Structure 1
Amino acid sequence: MLKEKGCEEMNKKLFPIGKSDFKEVIQGNYYYVDKTGFIEEVLEKNYEVTLICRPRRFGKTLNMSALKYFLDMKDAEENKKLFKGLKIEKTEYMKRAGKYPVIFLTLKDLSGKNYQDFFSEFKKLISRLFKEHKHLLKLLDEYDFENFDKILRRKDEADYDTALQFLSELYKEYVGVKPVLLIDEYDSPMIIANEKGYYEDVKELMSTFYGSSLKDAPISFAVVTGILRVAKESIFSSLNNLKVSTLLKGDYNHFGMNETEVEEILKHYNLETTMECAKSWYNGYTFNNQKIYNPWSIINHCDSGKLESYWVNTSANTLIMELLKEADLDIKDIFYNLLNGGSARTILDDNMIFGEKYSHSTILYLMFSAGYLTIDRYGEEDDEYYLRIPNLEVKKYFKKTFLNILTNSNRDSFSKLKDALLIGKIYGNDSIEEKINSMFLASMSYLDGSKEEKFYHNLILGMIIGLDSTFYIHSNREEGLGRYDLALEPKDKNRIGYIFEFKVASSTSESDFDAAGKDALNQIDKKIYENGLKERGITKIVKIGLVFSSKSMKIYSK
């Protein structure tokens, strides 16, 4: 039996974590989910320029790499062996394998703290690309040799902004075949530049770079991938031949893993018993009405055997984080609803214009494009959608991020608030009053705006949303003879439940605070708000009035 087990382990494929080069995956005996249908669809549609937008870590680079090896005339016969036994081998498109020069460029790691640093890295990237094609040098005349050599040696006077067009022209003139152009993560430079504050400079550079290569260059066709569809007016202003596939379209369904593919990989690694849990953690994305799993997380789960967060740690988006810090109460209210299993209604205009004033729909579109939200259902109006959090992995990240942004509090304060609630310590050191007050003051130090009850209500919701592992959190729920503001229902019925009523005092004077506090507690009693908790078996219930005025807060309790 030991020998058989050893043989079984030897037959297991390696985990392709961080592997995005198709040849390395196939030759290195890594587990590969056959997505060569992507190649077939690209060739079947035969568009001049295709832009495909999908979230990070859903297989864009690996698919583009497979397309590169399939089409490239360099090492063509050797590369054809890579596709043995795969779906594409059985199609008519095998006759187009190895028939083109391929220019493949990925911009996912291009960055810089300022434009000078960015442009220096950009020059290095283009120089490395030309080094991959230096076999052309022996064919070139003196003039083209000189210009090629300038880029290769990173000379300042080289024409980097039209480098792809130049390389394409060389293939057409000296090889006699128009190349295929593949650009991976095209929007990464714009996202980085927007975050670092030099977007306009990069916009000017990349507009020329993309425009010259995708419109003016002699290419057979081009495929471009990214996360966002940057508005045509921003980058692709001169392009009339662009076909776009976003998450809102119904094509190119070769990204992520479907349920059958997940079942197969879990079985391969003897983890089929985790299928239902994996569904809760990593499923939930809707691409063209098909439920999709996050492939990065599934592969990491197979490696570790643990159900925990993987993808979200690789996909933090600074732009989203900055926008949320500046967001108003309405977006925070939307977030609270999402974290409680609800959905957000929005218009999804899948065009991103950097530098504009961002609306709620822009923030939700960014989060949708990045994979933090997915489509729950379609609205009645054109372009109207209901979005939700796709799975437990993303929800955990949401909760952590929401707390940090909304309260600006440290995890120690939050942990002590939870402890105080569990033992019912309302006043004194490390009490409910002390911890809510400290988190409240930290939030109010940078949150200004309306001082209506809704403002404070949302603020407190943000502070306590992370308690949902211990309490069911109910907001504005009908109970008894009215609708209370907030209730914490313990999941362990032997623990303490809480009813909160919020009031805004007419001034910061002690008498006005006391009057509002008394009014809050009287309302809880008069409306019999505790009835629902009692009916569900909660016997220990604490009634709390939270009174606010400007940047002051006070707790009242019987």
Structure 2
Amino acid sequence: MKKIPIGISDFKKLKDEDYLFIDKSLLIKEFWESDGETVLVPRPRRFGKTLNMSMIKYFFENSSEDNGYLFKGLNIENHKNIMELQGKYPVIYLSFKDEKHSTFEYLKEGLSSVFSKLFIEHEYCLNNTKIHSIDKEYYNSVINKKATVIELGNALKNLSQYIYNYFEQRVIILVDEYDVPIQAAYLNNYYTEAIEFMRNLLSGAFKDNNSLQKGMITGILRVARESIFSGLNNLKVQSILTYNLSDKFGFTENEIEKLAMQYNIKEELINIKEWYNGYFFGDTIIYNPWSILNYISNPKNGLRPYWVNSSSNDLVKIILSKSTADVKGDLEELISGNSISKTIDENIVMGDIEKSSNNLWSFLLFTGYLKAKEAYRKEEYIFYDLSIPNKEVRSLYKNIVENWFLDTITKNNYDIMINSLIIGDIKTFGKLLKLFVLKSISYFDVGGYEGEKVYHAFVLGMLISLNDTHEVLSNRESGYGRYDVMLIPEDVSKLGIVIEFKKLDPDDEETLEETADIALKQISDKKYTTTLKSKGISNIKELALIFKGKEIYIKERKNHICLK
């Protein structure tokens, strides 16, 4: 069996040292034959973007080494017209994957180093007798890290022209992870400066550049409304919602089945699908390649959230923590295994993600934290059914929501509160719940007509930690209606719980106790306990949770606790 290439993104090293390679070489053909002069390919992190870009570089590059042997036996070899292009073009390859900086000053230092190395790589351009002395001076200023930010913004275009003049042949430009500096800038409050630089750099390289033969840009997002790509009418975008290149990033179902046979893990295939499957690129089912490779490299470690733990996920956590009550309600639906219907904007505006829930869902989709399966048109808008792709990503959402609550109550009190509920000690549960609400409800907007939904989401989030021992269901049919929350223990001898929520506004005439009686009567009349009884659970507790601002009233079928 071949070695597993964990973290290896250099195509030549991977092939030379006989690592496992899932053949994506037909990407070269699709790239070359694509309509646009430049192709933008947004994909989630660690889905093979850098390896694929490296493969394209080694294919086209007219280097002193003959790299044709790297493509022996690959699918691209069956296309002779494309193979004739191997080694025939000068290539500029530039990656921003490591340019994550806390200030714009540090970013400038990082950019100076990146472009210095790039210009040294193509230092042969200085040997061109036709190069002007002013251009030599500029070239050396970049190498010596003396160039200004404005001069660096022109570096790609200028270098392509120097190379074109040297070879008298147009250049292929490959820019990998272009939006890494943009996301870092967003987190560290120098977003405007970073956007301005990337706009100048990319528009110079890919817009009206007579030295350009073909270009590819990869990243996670299509950041377009900031006009990074304004005027690039030669740009072809192949996002996860389009069908071209849909099988070229990540592993397909067929590829996974072959790997399972090759590495003797076929018996785990069903579990692997639950953990790492679930993505749809175009109409292709895609598995997370990073997690698959990590699992195959050491299956004894078991199925783990490798991908979600491969970065800090800071941006996702920050954005979700600042989101509205409706967003948190939708998040509860997603964690419960349901889907939500949203419009998706492919042109992400980083600065507006926190202002627009549609931008938020678009961001989570394109970064790999959601999947889109069904699309349908409603008037002039296209809606997508969004859901959490797999167990691995669900574990991240659960962790985020749990931390919202643990930030405001000690872990010990949280555990006591949850344990009190599942053993039926409603008095202790109620006392700690009041403390919890007083400290945590600031995460939620409890005003307006959606208040009941907000409390619903709040309690669902609080109960997430029970998923290992209970089935936590929400808004499901049972009897003659839909209950709010149901806790179904895996051990049928344990306590099953049905909870109904009601919200009172300050000007409502009903008392808290009257409203609790209405909620309990609803549980009884609608026979919400039917599901629990059908599973053989006889020990059942029916609870009414009544909220009025931060005042809570809890009543069970026989006893009640009032918290004010």
Q: Compute the TM-score of the two structures, normalised by the length of structure 2.
A: 0.90
> What residue number does 1:384 align with?
383
- 1:482 and 1:340, CA in 2 relative to 1: closer, same or farther beyond 3 A? closer
Asked if 1:234 is matched to 2:227, the reply is: yes
Contact 2:446 2:455 survives alignment (8 Å): no
> What residue number does 1:83 align with?
71
How large is the RMSD of aligned CA atoms in angstroms?
2.4
Asked if 1:258 is matched to 2:249, the reply is: no
Q: CA deviation at 1:416?
A: 3.2
Which of 425, 444, 449 in structure 2 is aligned with 1:447? 444
Which of 94, 114, 119 in structure 2 is aligned with 1:130? 119
> What residue number does 2:189 align with?
197
Q: CA deviation at 1:88?
A: 1.5
Please give the alpha-carbon distance, in whole angstroms, between the structure 2 residues aligned to 1:301 and 1:183.
30
Task: Give the stretch that moved more between structures: 535-544 or 443-452.
Answer: 443-452
Please give the alpha-carbon distance, in whole angstroms, between the structure 2 residues aligned to 1:342 and 1:379.
18
Look up the equivalent residue of 1:213 and give its one-letter code.
Answer: A
Contact 1:498 1:542 survives alignment (8 Å): yes
Segments of 5+ residues of structure 1 without an aligned counterpart are 1-11
> What residue number does 2:138 align with?
147
Identity of aligned residues (%): 36
Contact 1:408 1:442 survives alignment (8 Å): no
Contact 2:406 2:414 survives alignment (8 Å): no
SS of 2:70 mapped into structure 1: helix
- 1:46 and 1:550, CA in 2 relative to 1: closer, same or farther beyond 3 A? closer
Contact 2:222 2:348 survives alignment (8 Å): yes
Q: Compute the TM-score of the two structures, normalised by the length of structure 1.
A: 0.91
Please give the alpha-carbon distance, in whole angstroms, between the structure 2 residues aligned to 1:85 and 1:526.
69
Task: Give the stretch that moved more between structures: 403-412 or 533-542.
Answer: 403-412
Look up the equivalent residue of 1:362 and give its one-letter code.
Answer: N
Q: CA deviation at 1:138?
A: 2.7
> What residue number does 2:327 align with?
331
Alignment of 1:94-493 (within 5 A): 94-139=83-128, 140-157=131-148, 159-217=151-209, 218-252=211-245, 253-305=247-299, 306-356=302-352, 358-381=355-378, 382-405=381-404, 408-409=407-408, 411-427=411-427, 431-450=428-447, 452-480=451-479, 483-493=482-492
Contact 2:138 2:147 survives alignment (8 Å): no
SS of 1:166 mapped into structure 2: helix
Contact 1:234 1:353 survives alignment (8 Å): no
> What residue number does 1:5 align with?
none
Q: CA deviation at 1:229?
A: 0.9
Q: CA deviation at 1:212?
A: 0.8
Contact 2:5 2:14 survives alignment (8 Å): yes
Q: CA deviation at 1:321?
A: 2.4
Q: CA deviation at 1:45?
A: 2.4
> What residue number does 1:4 align with?
none
Segments of 5+ residues of structure 2 without an aligned counterpart are 560-564
- 1:280 and 1:42, CA in 2 relative to 1: closer, same or farther beyond 3 A? same
> What residue number does 2:19 align with?
30
SS of 1:220 mapped into structure 2: strand
Please give the alpha-carbon distance, in whole angstroms, between the structure 1 residues aligned to 2:504 and 2:177.
53
SS of 1:122 mapped into structure 2: helix
Look up the equivalent residue of 1:332 and give its one-letter code.
Answer: K
Contact 2:325 2:445 survives alignment (8 Å): no
Offset from partner CA, 1:221-273 (integer Å, 9 cap, x none): 11111111112552112322111111111101311111221122233222222
Please give the alpha-carbon distance, in whole angstroms, between the structure 2 residues aligned to 1:40 and 1:492.
56
Look up the equivalent residue of 2:375 and give its one-letter code.
Answer: Y
Q: CA deviation at 1:86?
A: 1.2
Look up the equivalent residue of 1:323 and give its one-letter code.
Answer: I
- 1:483 and 1:66, CA in 2 relative to 1: closer, same or farther beyond 3 A? closer
> What residue number does 1:18 align with?
7
Look up the equivalent residue of 1:133 and give its one-letter code.
Answer: H
Please give the alpha-carbon distance, in whole angstroms, between the structure 2 residues aligned to 1:394 and 1:34.
26
SS of 1:553 mapped into structure 2: strand
Task: Give the stretch that moved more between structures: 177-186 or 153-162.
Answer: 153-162
Q: CA deviation at 1:533?
A: 2.1
Alignment: residue pair count? 542
Look up the equivalent residue of 1:417 and give its one-letter code.
Answer: M
Look up the equivalent residue of 1:349 and give its one-letter code.
Answer: D
Contact 2:370 2:388 survives alignment (8 Å): yes
Q: CA deviation at 1:322?
A: 2.4
Contact 2:35 2:236 survives alignment (8 Å): no
